[in-house]
Structure 1
Amino acid sequence: MTTAPTDASRANGAPPTDAEGPGDGHALFGPDSQFSALFDDPRWALAMIRATVLEAAHPQIGAALVDNSTFVAHPWRRLRNTFLSMRRMFDVDPAVREREAARLNRLHTRMSGSDSRGRAYDARDRATRAWVVATLFESAVTMCRMSGQPLSQDTMERMYAEYRAFLAALDGDAAALPEELHDFWRYFDRVVENELENTEAARVILFRLFDHLPAPALFDGAPTLWAVGRAVAGPLLGAITVASLPEPYRRRAGLPEMPGTRTLMQGVYVVAGLGRFLPEGWLNAESVIELLSLPAGSDDPRARTMAALQSRIKRASALLRLLGPLGGDPDPVPATDPEPSAAAGQVRRSAEEFFRQVLDQTGDGHLDWPDLAAMARELSTRLDLDEPEETRLYDAFAAWWRELQAALDTDGDGRVSAAEYAAAVPSLAGPALIRVAEVLFDVTDKDGDGTIDADEHRALFRTAFHRDLTTLHGTYGRSAFVSDFLSFMSARRTSTLYDPLLADA
């Protein structure tokens, strides 16, 4: 354990740099922190939604989300990555925190541009990053207050020190947030009053995301049941979130508040808070998220549990259709490939499906650089790449985007529409895409012998993507690996390898 922070470090706005709080013996990181105590609390899900809206209402963050985020098209994947990142940032091991902070900084360095009004945004802006941390802290305090279990002053002080330490891990210091908690509340009110706007990103989260939320893997094959549940839960979550937002922002943004929603909101928070009385270990946020997103065929031990749940969900969905037909298409039956597949378990998908499910990662109806950057980001995150390998992968995807833009952007607007893609029916397996596959092969071939052995193959697809691939005998050569990757990216076939990564929500 290191010594207490110096007066100089406190003068620079840095929180305590050791693993304990300021002189009270409470850990800032690890299992004894206030963050860890609340992480598995069901109320945290509601608080995260609220914090995300407050983040999105900031003009810089809202613009960055609209241009770069995959939260509309792939919300479950985004949720999983966010929880995993926060768990790492509050890990007791400083090496884990430093590695994750470096990854987040590299990710944010690649996000800059301008919004619809021509205002520049930069994801590395310190004041903006401080606001993200502020919304997480304030929403955690608010969720406890709304559920009738307000935090004591000492607990809030310790939690605030943790979140300032979180910011310091990202920015080198926490000077962008007030040092004292009583000053934080004035800072928070000032930003809400003077800086938040009714941004497009905030509107999408409140009024579009819940209404169009794609089914998680657990509800795959039961769209009727999911549609019914979403029709009820979507408006409820939206109303609760609006009611929980600061009143000055609701007024300025013109957000509707239906009669009784505040009582409903508090009731939901109270009910969710009852989860804290369950036996220890019954609720684990990370396990729940993994279970929701676990793809079919996973080697995860929980796959059997998910398969059993899916079977019951499908039966319930079929019964629901019999009892009260809702119209629309019935629950789908897996398509069959009219032609022999190059690999078992693959079926051909239409150009429209391929564009929507794979290429359009941000869900805005167009293909441009942020979509391919999202692919590179997801690969880098799942494989936990170091900076040199990550940069090589991003560079390869950037070259592929330039190649696609030159071939498919017929109207010269700087992006590729679904119509432009479908009309061209392109072969995407050009030199740049081959280079992407080669870089992916290189980062998988850890020993550099030019082949992928069983252990390296397992590390790529089993460990990183939770795929149980037992068909690899001997080694996997570069040409075979590249061929399989190109088959997925250009032949528009589903793939048991890459669909959970790039196509699933």
Structure 2
Amino acid sequence: MTTAANGATRADTAPTAHEPPLFGPDSKFQGFFDDPRWALAIVRATVLEAAHPQVGAALVDNSTFVAHPWRRLRNTFLSMRRMFGADPAVREREAARLNRLHARMSGSDARGRAYDAMDRATRAWVVATLFESAVTMCRLSGQPLDQQTMERMYAEYRAFLASLDGDADELPAELRDFCPYFDRVVEHELEDTEAARVILFRLFDHLPAPALFDGAPTLWAAGRAVAGPLLGAITVASLPEAYRRRAGLPETPGAETLMQGAYVAAGLARFLPAGWLDAETVIDLVSLPEGSDDPRFRSVTALRDRVKRASALLRLLTPLDGGPEPDPASTAGPVPAAGRTEGRRSAEEFFRQVLDQTGDGHLDWPDLAAMARELSTRLDLDEPEETRLYDAFAAWWRELQAALDADGDGRVSAEEYAAAVPSLAGPALIRVAEVLFDATDKDGSGTIDAEEYRALFRTAFHRDLAAGDGVYGRSAFVSDFLSFMSARRTSTPYDPLLADA
């Protein structure tokens, strides 16, 4: 490959008439989107990313991957779809969104070392882990890539980095120089970070149930107890030996054989008819909230009923100490006139499920920033609407900190929150609700119509809203949002906004 003046390969900038575009349906990376092997490879890549001290610190401080892994997975998948799509305008817009998101993530790790999510060398390492894990995935499944395919795919990943950073200079220009670069970072820069340990030894063991398994905690817990350690062992065995040795990761007997068997088995999916596997459809189906109007929800409902029956049977066969599963109807409380299911949460539940977005046991600015990030992502906001929403959440954080941070440590503990039993509906939260309404009301009509409602809640109007003029007014929206955020009420459809896994 020849090299352009800015350090990116010429294939990155101007493919010839005989070369397929680096982005779009003909790209090599696009072919992995619906490949089951990619589920294993992406976990491996994430561990290698988290093992970098800059990435690890940013994940621990800012990421929702522990408390809301399914939401994080869906958002990451959709972002990659946009970045590797054929439309350059969509890629440019998504790259700008990602850069704004990363620009808001900086700080210091537990050892006082500064981190910055916009650090160019660190961003290059993230892209490098994706490329190397894709190559390793093919090798472990018995389908190694030939040299020409690897060259082509490496050009795609460098073009991806160039879309974010303006060039790809932080990655070697030639594929032959990539392995020495990768080995050097593994040997000299990666560490046994807290984030990497969480992914390997905590995330799988405590993975919250997706929406599909909400009504079957026993079945989910039983499956997770078996699958969690297996996934952890497979991931550890697939990591570079130099990192395993440096991080002191355990050598599990038989893990190498298990890991190779898992990749080979996942690779057999290539024999399935085309179209049978669609990652986006699978992710959507497991995360569809209760009561969704999605046409596929009828099938999901039938599957969810079978899951609940299997869970009940499992509990009868192997009763747990926690007592019988609660009947949702017994905890829901009265159904309001609007027809939506509501119930009361304890202060502890509200803190854990809604406020503590990062899952670290404390409420601080990254938690509210995660709320702003999720809402901005759902609504696909541009500047300046995104900044207005972040600013509103920042003002709310200052109000919360002043009211609840009793020991002055800059964050609010679950105990401080529960002891105060606060009414959170102050002026700053009202402002959050108003800004969110304006961001949702795309056409500026002063009401939220059915399409705008679906963009925010990912479901259609409830019957009470569809009645009459079929719109959602500002005062009703603000009142409902404040009721959910301050009264600690479970609420459909507000729960999936911030409390979903």
Normalised by the length of structure 2, the TM-score is 0.96
Cα contact 2:376–2:386 (8 A) shared by 1 = yes
2:253 equivalent to 1:259: yes
2:408 equivalent to 1:403: no
1:501 maps to which residue? 497
Q: How does 1:317-328 map to 2 (within 5 A)?
A: 317-328=311-322
Cα contact 1:224–1:330 (8 A) shared by 2 = no
2:231 equivalent to 1:200: no
2:119 maps to which residue? 125
Choose from 344, 350, 361 the match for 2:346. 350
Question: What is the rounded CA distance, in whole Å, between the counterparts of 1:82 and 1:133 in structure 2?
Answer: 14
The amino acid of 1:228's aligned partner reads: A
Question: What is the rounded CA distance, in whole Å, between the counterparts of 1:225 and 1:455 in structure 2?
Answer: 36
Q: Which moved more, 1:173-182 or 1:446-455?
A: 446-455
Deviations 1:217-260 (A, max 9, x none): 11111111111110110000000000000001000100001121
2:373 equivalent to 1:380: no
2:462 equivalent to 1:469: yes
User: How far 1:332 sits from its partner (Å)?
Assistant: 2.7
Deviations 1:52-91 (A, max 9, x none): 0000000000000000000000000111111111011000
Question: What is the rounded CA distance, in whole Å, between the counterparts of 1:67 and 1:245 in structure 2?
Answer: 24
Question: What is the rounded CA distance, in whole Å, between the counterparts of 2:429 and 2:413 in structure 1?
Answer: 19
- CA 1:250/1:383 → structure 2, altered by over 3 Å: closer, same or farther? same
1:270 maps to which residue? 264
2:422 equivalent to 1:426: yes
Choose from 52, 55, 65 the match for 1:61. 55
Question: What is the rounded CA distance, in whole Å, between the counterparts of 2:118 and 2:90 in structure 1?
Answer: 21
Choose from 489, 492, 505 the match for 2:488. 492
- CA 1:501/1:454 → structure 2, altered by over 3 Å: closer, same or farther? closer
Q: Which moved more, 1:26-35 or 1:368-377?
A: 26-35
The amino acid of 1:471's aligned partner reads: D
Cα contact 1:19–1:92 (8 A) shared by 2 = no
RMSD of equivalent CA atoms: 1.7
2:103 equivalent to 1:109: yes
Question: What is the rounded CA distance, in whole Å, between the counterparts of 1:112 and 1:457 in structure 2?
Answer: 33
User: How far 1:134 sits from its partner (Å)?
Assistant: 0.2
2:220 maps to which residue? 226
Aligned length: 496
Q: Which moved more, 1:22-31 or 1:137-146?
A: 22-31
Deviations 1:181-226 (A, max 9, x none): 0101110000000000000000000000011000111111111111
- CA 1:435/1:389 → structure 2, altered by over 3 Å: closer, same or farther? same
- CA 1:348/1:198 → structure 2, altered by over 3 Å: closer, same or farther? same
Deviations 1:321-372 (A, max 9, x none): 2223243233331143446647421111111111000000000000000000
2:60 equivalent to 1:96: no
Query: Which consecutive unaligned segments of at least 5 residues does structure 2 have?
Result: none
The amino acid of 2:83's aligned partner reads: M
- CA 1:22/1:200 → structure 2, altered by over 3 Å: closer, same or farther? farther
User: How far 1:498 sits from its partner (Å)?
Assistant: 1.8
Question: What is the rounded CA distance, in whole Å, between the counterparts of 1:23 and 1:236 in structure 2?
Answer: 46
Cα contact 1:16–1:165 (8 A) shared by 2 = no
Question: What is the rounded CA distance, in whole Å, between the counterparts of 2:138 and 2:211 in structure 1?
Answer: 31
2:197 equivalent to 1:185: no
2:73 equivalent to 1:41: no
Question: What is the rounded CA distance, in whole Å, between the counterparts of 1:38 and 1:433 in structure 2?
Answer: 42
The amino acid of 1:39's aligned partner reads: F
Cα contact 1:221–1:331 (8 A) shared by 2 = no
Cα contact 1:35–1:159 (8 A) shared by 2 = yes
User: How far 1:10 sits from its partner (Å)?
Assistant: 1.1
The amino acid of 1:25's aligned partner reads: E
User: How far 1:31 sits from its partner (Å)?
Assistant: 0.6
Query: Which consecutive unaligned segments of at least 5 residues does structure 1 have?
Result: none
Cα contact 2:368–2:394 (8 A) shared by 1 = yes
Deviations 1:100-121 (A, max 9, x none): 1000000000000000000000
1:25 maps to which residue? 19
Deviations 1:282-313 (A, max 9, x none): 00111111111111111111111111111111
Question: What is the rounded CA distance, in whole Å, between the counterparts of 2:426 and 2:9 in structure 1?
Answer: 51
1:389 maps to which residue? 385
- CA 1:290/1:454 → structure 2, altered by over 3 Å: closer, same or farther? closer
- CA 1:18/1:54 → structure 2, altered by over 3 Å: closer, same or farther? closer
2:281 equivalent to 1:290: no
The amino acid of 1:178's aligned partner reads: P
Question: What is the rounded CA distance, in whole Å, between the counterparts of 2:313 and 2:483 in structure 1?
Answer: 38
Cα contact 1:298–1:468 (8 A) shared by 2 = no
The amino acid of 2:464's aligned partner reads: T
Q: Matched residue of 1:198: which SS? A: coil
